[in-house]
């Protein structure tokens, strides 16, 4: 089965939505901030998962290299797991999860993560709304419900770009 | 191929960049790379430095449509590598 991250139609939809220009939508930054605030975590992101990297279309709380590059190589990206599976990806302790424990982001201090895939009306998972913390913590169903609701708002704003 | 200790990020090369373009664009990848290389002032040769790869990726990232999307992807990888080289944490 081919890797959905390199699916041409998915990448073409990301291009058509014009999400990578660096001046996307202040409303998306506000949603990323709200996600982090609601869950009491330092970082919230709208991450667009490309073929070789993830790109942060909106962010709250990033510093250092990640703020400078506005993304990471895709093999570092926890968000890629949510996009490939089209399902939420959650780890309460990234040091013990087999998909995350060996990544450089864990070496840099990331400990917990919850990401909800952003699935468009065309059926493509183009990225995630995610929150990140530096200490382990569980994500109860109530937290994921908040993120699901905010992720739906992100998709609504992104879809509106198609209608402009 | 060299990997930076602790980062597991291989340095960008023309071969790896072309391969990632070719996976999506097919044989058009070569023309796309050649055009962006010329605009970036980078020669068509195999032994490009990461800085030269990054310069081409930045040109690609400004292109419209699918090529621009693939360019952003390459640009993020290259800039991450260069930031690590500079010791930006």
Name the packing angle between helices B14-25 and B65-86 (round to 10°): 150
Give A55 to chain B, closest Cα distance, Å: 7
User: Residue B6: pLDDT band by 50, 70, 90 thresholds?
Assistant: low
The C-alpha of A61 sits at a distance from chain B's nearest C-alpha, in angstroms, of: 15
- The reported pTM is 0.94
Reported as a single tens digit per residue, the pLDDT across B57-73 is 999 999 999 999 999 99
Q: Give the ipTM of the model, two decimals please.
A: 0.94
Residue B20, chain A, CB below 8 Å: the answer is: yes
Which helix or strand (DSSP H or E) is residue A27 part of? helix A26-39
The CA distance from A80 to the nearest CA of chain B, in Å, is 13
Going residue by residue through chain A (164 aa), what tens digit of pLDDT does each one get?
A: 689 999 999 999 999 999 998 776 889 999 999 999 999 999 999 999 999 999 999 999 999 889 999 999 999 999 999 999 999 999 999 999 999 998 889 988 999 999 999 999 999 999 999 999 999 999 999 999 999 999 999 999 999 887 66
| Helix B14-25 / helix B28-40 crossing angle, nearest 10 deg | 130
Verify whether the Cβ–Cβ distance B61 to A55 is below 8 Å.
Answer: no
Closest CA to A24 of A9, A12, A37, A14: A14
Whether B89 contacts chain A with CB within 8 A: yes
* B62 inside 8 A of chain A by CB: no
CB contact under 8 A, A12 and B66: yes
Residues in chain B with CB shorter than 8 Å from the CB of A20 are: 61, 68-69, 72
Residues whose CB falls within 8 Å of the CB of residue A27, separated by 6 or more in sequence, listed in order? A157
Of residues A14, A73, A107, nearest to B77 (C-beta): A73
Q: Chain A partners of B23 at a C-beta cutoff of 8 Å?
A: 6, 51
**Positions of E strands within chain A:** 43-49, 53-60, 71-73, 89-91, 112-119, 125-133
Residues of A with CB under 8 A from a CB of B: 6, 8, 11-12, 14-16, 20, 50-55, 64-65, 68-75, 102-104, 107-108
**Average pLDDT for residues B42-55, to the nearest whole number?**
92
CB A28 within 8 A of CB A48: no
CB pairs under 8 A between A and B: 83
Give the whole-angstrom CA distance, residue A60 versus residue A119. Answer: 21
For chain B, report the end-to-end CA distance as a whole number of angstroms: 23
Please report residues of B whose CB lies closer than 8 A to that of A15: 64-66, 68-69
pLDDT value of position A164:
66
């Amino acid at each position: 089965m081919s890797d959905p991250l390199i699916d041409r139609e998915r990448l073409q939809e990301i291009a058509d939505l014009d999400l990578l220009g660096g001046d996307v939508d202040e409303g998306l930054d506000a949603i990323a901030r709200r996600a982090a605030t609601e869950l009491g975590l330092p970082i919230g992101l709208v991450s667009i998962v490309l073929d070789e990297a993830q790109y942060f279309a909106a962010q709250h709380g990033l510093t250092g290299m990640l703020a400078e590059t506005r993304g990471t190589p895709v093999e570092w990206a926890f968000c890629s797991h949510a996009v490939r599976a089209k399902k939420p990806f959650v780890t309460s302790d990234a040091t013990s999860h087999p998909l995350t424990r060996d990544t450089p982001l864990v070496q840099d201090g990331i400990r917990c993560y919850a990401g909800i895939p952003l699935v468009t009306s065309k059926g493509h998972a183009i990225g995630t709304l995610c929150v990140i913390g530096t200490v382990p913590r569980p994500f109860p169903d109530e937290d994921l419900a908040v993120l699901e609701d905010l992720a739906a708002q992100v998709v609504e704003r992104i879809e509106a770009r198609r209608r402009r | 191929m060299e990997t930076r200790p602790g980062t597991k990020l291989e340095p960008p090369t023309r071969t790896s960049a072309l391969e990632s373009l070719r996976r999506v664009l097919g044989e058009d990848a070569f023309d796309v790379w050649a055009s962006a290389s010329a605009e970036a002032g980078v020669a068509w040769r195999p032994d490009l430095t990461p800085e030269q790869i990054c310069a081409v990726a930045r040109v690609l990232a400004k292109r419209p449509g699918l090529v621009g999307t693939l360019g952003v992807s390459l640009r993020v990888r290259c800039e991450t590598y260069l930031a690590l080289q500079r010791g930006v944490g």
